[in-house]
Structure 1
Amino acid sequence: MTSVNPRFFMNLSSSLTTLDLWESWLGGNFPNSIFRFPNLKRFSLGGKGNLTIDLPRDLKSLQSLSLGCNLEGSIPASIGNLSQLTDLSLYFNNFNGQIPSSLANLAQLTFLDLSNNQFSGPILASICNLRQLTSLVLSSSNFSGQIPSSLANLTQLTSLDLSNDQFSGPIPASIGNLRQLTSLYLSSNNLSQQIPSSLANLTQLPFLYLSNNQFSGPIPASIGNLRQLTSLVLSFNNLSEQIPSSLANLTQLTSLDLSNNQFSGPIPPSIGNLRQLTSLVLSSYNLSGQIPSSLVNLTQLTSLDLSNNQFSGPIPPSIGNLRQLTGLVLYSNNLSEQIPSSLANLTQLLYLDLSNNQFSGPIPASIGNLCQLTSLHLYSNNLSGQIPSSLANLTQLPSLDLSNNQFSGPIPASIVPGMFSALQNLEILDLSHNNLIGKIPNCLPKSLSVLNLQANYFDGNIAFGFPKGCGLRNLNLHGNQMDGLLPRSLVNCRMLEVLDVGNNNISDTFPHWLESLPDLQVLVLRSNKFHGSVQSTKESPSFPKLRVLDLSSNYFVGALPVRYIENFNAMMDPHKDGGSPKYMIVLTVANSYQYSLVVTWKGFEYELQRILTVFSSIHLSNNKFEGEIPDVIGKLSSLKGLNLSHNNLTGHIPPLLGNLTNLEWLDLSSNELAGKIPDELVYLTQLSVLNLSNNHLVGRILQGSQFNTFENGSYEGNLGLCGIPLSKSCDGIGTSPSSFQEKDALWRFGWRVVVLGYGCGVVFGLLMGYHVFRTGKPKWFVSLFDGRPSQSGRKMRKARRLVQRRS
Structure 2
Amino acid sequence: MMKSISFQNSHIIVYLIIFISCCGIYVSCDPNVSTATSAFKCLPDQSTALLEFKQEFSLQKPNFSYYYYHCFMYSNPFYDDSILPHSYPKMKFWKEGKDCCTWDGVACDMKTGQVVGLDLSYSWLQGPLRSNSSLFKLHQLQKVILPYNNFSFCHIPSEFGQLSRLTYLILSYSMFSGEVPSEISYLTNLLYLGLSSFKSYDDTSFLYLKRVDFTRFIRNMTNLRGLYLDQVNLSSSIPESLTNLSSLTFLQLSGCDLYGKFPEKIFQLPKLELIIVPCNHLLTGFLPQFHNLSSLTGLNLDMMNFSGKLPNSIGLLEYLKEFAIRLCNFMGPLPSSIWNLSNLNYLELSQNNFNSPDLPSTLGNLAKLVDLSLHSAQFSGEVPSSLGNLTQLKYFDISYNNLSFTKLNTISELPKFQTLVLGSCNLREFPSFLKTQDQLENLDLSSNRIEGQIPKWFWGIAKKKLEILDLSHNKFQGSLDSPPLLTSFFDISENKKTYLRVLDISKNQFSGTIPQWLGNFGSSLEILNLQGNNFHGNLPQMFRNGSMLNLKKLDLSDNQFQGKVPPFLITCRKLQVLNLGHNQISDTFPFWLQSMPELQVLVLRWNKFYGPIWNPHKFRGFESLRIMDLSFNNFSGRLPSEYFTNWVGMIQAPCGNKKTLIYMEDRYPFTYERASTIVTNKGVEMELDRILKTLTSIDLSNNRFDGEIPSSIDNLQALVVLNLSSNSFTGSIPPYLGNMSELESLDLSKNKLSGRIPQQLANLTFLEYLNLSQNQLTGPIPQGKQLNTFSSSSFAGNPGLCGSPLSRYCGNVDSPVVHHDKEVESEDGFTWKPVAVGYGFGIVVGFVIGHVILSQRRSNWFWRSFVGKFIYAAC
Q: CA deviation at 1:643?
A: 1.5
SS at match of 2:686: strand
**In structure 2, do the counterparts of structure 1 residues 90 and 572 end up closer, same or farther at CA, with 3 Å as the change threshold?**
same
Q: In structure 2, what is the Cα distance between the partners aligned to 1:320 and 1:464?
A: 48
Contact 2:53 2:133 in 1 (8 A): no
Q: In structure 2, what is the Cα distance between the partners aligned to 1:310 and 1:562?
A: 61
Q: CA deviation at 1:112?
A: 4.1
Matches within 5 A, 1:513-532: 513-532=592-611
Spell out, residue by residue over 1:599-652, the C-alpha distance to the aligned partner (whole angstroms, 9 max, x if none): 234665321232211111111122221211111112212222212122222222
**In structure 2, do the counterparts of structure 1 residues 585 and 95 end up closer, same or farther at CA, with 3 Å as the change threshold?**
closer
Contact 2:554 2:675 in 1 (8 A): no
SS at match of 1:632: helix
Spell out, residue by residue over 1:136-185, the C-alpha distance to the aligned partner (whole angstroms, 9 max, x if none): 4364597623167767964xx7x333534666544546856736x65455
Q: CA deviation at 1:662?
A: 2.1
Q: In structure 2, what is the Cα distance between the partners aligned to 1:563 and 1:694?
A: 27
Spell out, residue by residue over 1:750-789, the C-alpha distance to the aligned partner (whole angstroms, 9 max, x if none): xxxxxxxxxxxxxxxxxxxxxxxxxxxxxxx9xxxxxx94
Q: CA deviation at 1:570?
A: 1.0
Q: In structure 2, what is the Cα distance between the partners aligned to 1:183 and 1:254?
A: 14
Q: In structure 2, what is the Cα distance between the partners aligned to 1:24 and 1:804?
A: 52
Q: In structure 2, what is the Cα distance between the partners aligned to 1:412 and 1:387?
A: 9
Matched with 2:772 is: 692
Spell out, residue by residue over 1:205-259, the C-alpha distance to the aligned partner (whole angstroms, 9 max, x if none): 443444455642202223x435443323334543222232322222222222333
Q: CA deviation at 1:525?
A: 1.0
Among 330, 336, 339, the residue aligned to 1:263: 330
Contact 1:254 1:276 in 2 (8 A): yes
Contact 1:122 1:145 in 2 (8 A): no
Matches within 5 A, 1:273-284: 273-283=340-350
**Larger deviation, residues 346-355 vs 460-469:** 346-355
Q: CA deviation at 1:698?
A: 1.3
Matched with 1:402 is: 471
Matched with 2:23 is: none
Q: In structure 2, what is the Cα distance between the partners aligned to 1:102 and 1:588?
A: 43
Matched with 2:835 is: 790
> Alignment length, in residue pairs?
700
Contact 1:451 1:474 in 2 (8 A): yes
Matches within 5 A, 1:791-806: 804=845
SS at match of 1:725: coil
Contact 2:383 2:408 in 1 (8 A): no
SS at match of 1:708: helix
* Residues 1:350 and 2:418 aligned together: yes
Letter in 2 for 1:441: P
Matched with 1:595 is: 675
* Residues 1:485 and 2:564 aligned together: yes
Matched with 1:16 is: 41
Q: In structure 1, what is the Cα distance between the partners aligned to 2:144 and 2:839?
A: 57
Spell out, residue by residue over 1:417-472, the C-alpha distance to the aligned partner (whole angstroms, 9 max, x if none): 66599986332232322333322223212233222222222222223321525122
Among 510, 528, 531, the residue aligned to 1:454: 531
* Residues 1:216 and 2:296 aligned together: no
**Larger deviation, residues 393-402 vs 630-639:** 393-402
Matched with 2:118 is: 66
**Larger deviation, residues 699-708 vs 20-29:** 20-29
Note the aligned Cα RMSD (angstroms). 4.5
Among 145, 153, 169, the residue aligned to 1:113: 169
Q: In structure 2, what is the Cα distance between the partners aligned to 1:374 and 1:383?
A: 21
Matched with 2:507 is: 433
Matched with 1:377 is: 444
**In structure 2, do the counterparts of structure 1 residues 280 and 505 end up closer, same or farther at CA, with 3 Å as the change threshold?**
same
SS at match of 1:558: strand
Matched with 2:554 is: 475
Among 634, 639, 661, the residue aligned to 2:741: 661
Letter in 2 for 1:654: P
Contact 1:317 1:340 in 2 (8 A): yes
Contact 2:573 2:597 in 1 (8 A): yes
**Larger deviation, residues 337-346 vs 605-614:** 337-346
* Residues 1:682 and 2:762 aligned together: yes
**In structure 2, do the counterparts of structure 1 residues 461 and 76 end up closer, same or farther at CA, with 3 Å as the change threshold?**
closer
**In structure 2, do the counterparts of structure 1 residues 707 and 272 end up closer, same or farther at CA, with 3 Å as the change threshold?**
same
Spell out, residue by residue over 1:322-356, the C-alpha distance to the aligned partner (whole angstroms, 9 max, x if none): 3423323355x45466798559966643333344x
* Residues 1:573 and 2:652 aligned together: yes
Spell out, residue by residue over 1:341-380, the C-alpha distance to the aligned partner (whole angstroms, 9 max, x if none): 559966643333344x363413325436544433333334
Contact 2:349 2:374 in 1 (8 A): yes
Q: In structure 1, what is the Cα distance between the partners aligned to 2:100 and 2:644?
A: 73
Larger proportion of strand: 1
Q: In structure 2, what is the Cα distance between the partners aligned to 1:253 and 1:432?
A: 42
Contact 2:383 2:405 in 1 (8 A): no
* Residues 1:243 and 2:317 aligned together: no
Structure 2 residue runs of 5 or longer lacking an equivalent are 1-36, 58-98, 197-206, 491-497, 816-828, 847-872
Matched with 1:758 is: none
Q: In structure 1, what is the Cα distance between the partners aligned to 2:143 and 2:432?
A: 61
* Residues 1:137 and 2:206 aligned together: no
Contact 1:392 1:422 in 2 (8 A): no
Matched with 2:73 is: none
Q: In structure 2, what is the Cα distance between the partners aligned to 1:617 and 1:578?
A: 20
Contact 2:320 2:343 in 1 (8 A): yes
Letter in 2 for 1:146: T
SS at match of 2:392: coil
SS at match of 1:443: helix
* Residues 1:535 and 2:614 aligned together: yes
Q: In structure 2, what is the Cα distance between the partners aligned to 1:217 and 1:489?
A: 60
Contact 1:41 1:61 in 2 (8 A): no
SS at match of 2:673: strand
* Residues 1:225 and 2:292 aligned together: yes
Contact 1:263 1:287 in 2 (8 A): yes
Matched with 1:297 is: 365
Contact 1:98 1:121 in 2 (8 A): no
**In structure 2, do the counterparts of structure 1 residues 200 and 375 end up closer, same or farther at CA, with 3 Å as the change threshold?**
closer
| Sequence identity (%) | 34
Matched with 1:757 is: none
Q: CA deviation at 1:95?
A: 6.3
Matches within 5 A, 1:178-197: 178=246, 182-185=249-252, 189=256, 194-197=261-264
**Larger deviation, residues 234-243 vs 622-631:** 234-243
Higher RCO structure (Cα 8 Å, ≥6 apart): 2
